[in-house]
Amino acid sequence: MNASTTLKPLLAFVALLAAVVATPVSAATITGLVNTGASSVAGAQDTNYSLTLPNSTTTYGYEAPGNDWPITPWLANTTTSQWLMPYAPVQGRDNHPAGIYTWLLSFDLTGFKAETASFSGRWSTDNSGIIKLNGTTLANSASTSFEQWKDFSATRGFLAGLNTLEFVLTNASGATGNPAGLRVEFTDSNVSAVPLPAAIWMFGSALLGFMGLSNRRKI
């Protein structure tokens, strides 16, 4: 077998790497940013959003039924997103304890350039709430109404690996008809993939040189 024949597979490999690296890195949507109620049915738990209750118990919330309290006066459920409640819905009015309800959504940016990440969306709460990205409150994202949407967005504060979004709700005191609820819709998200490292080029070049030297010694 001559040197030319031996080098053909390696040359093809290096050519493939060149094509991949030369391809522009395009933006992708961020996997894991899902709307509330996106993968569940009415009355079922939504396991995308973990929930810490006022008594510090960690669980999941339930999708509010579309034909029951508190769809009125809450914003009506749609096929895009649904309200989540901290407890299984009960026919009629739900009276939930006052206190802090923290809903947590995780997403992973491993393999992506965290500094290029961004997202935007809107949310509604009963009663009030703030949003935290990796522990830092998003500016101008505070929600105070369950009858209208509040926009939110982020262009910084992302981590290269696992990221967390906390939707921290405060349910006020009420004698009857005092439900707590969360509604989230993401409208846009973007992040760029990490390009192949230069080390791959160095490895390919070194391997090419080694094989060339080996073939010359055989001649």
Class of domain 45-192: mainly beta
* pTM of the model as a whole: 0.78
Structure tokens at 14: 């290096």
Q: Is the separation of the CB atoms in 111 and 32 below 8 Å?
A: no
pLDDT at 215 over 60: no
Beta-bridge partners for 101: 169
In 3D space, the residue among 117, 93, 109 whose CA is nearest the CA of residue 180 turns out to be: 93
Sign of torsion over alpha carbons 125, 129, 135, 140: positive
pLDDT at 20 over 50: no
What confidence tens digit (pLDDT) does each residue in 181-205 have?
999 999 999 999 987 554 444 445 5
Q: Domain boundaries in the chain?
A: 45-192
What confidence tens digit (pLDDT) does each residue in 82-136 have?
999 999 887 656 789 999 999 999 999 999 999 999 999 999 999 999 999 999 9
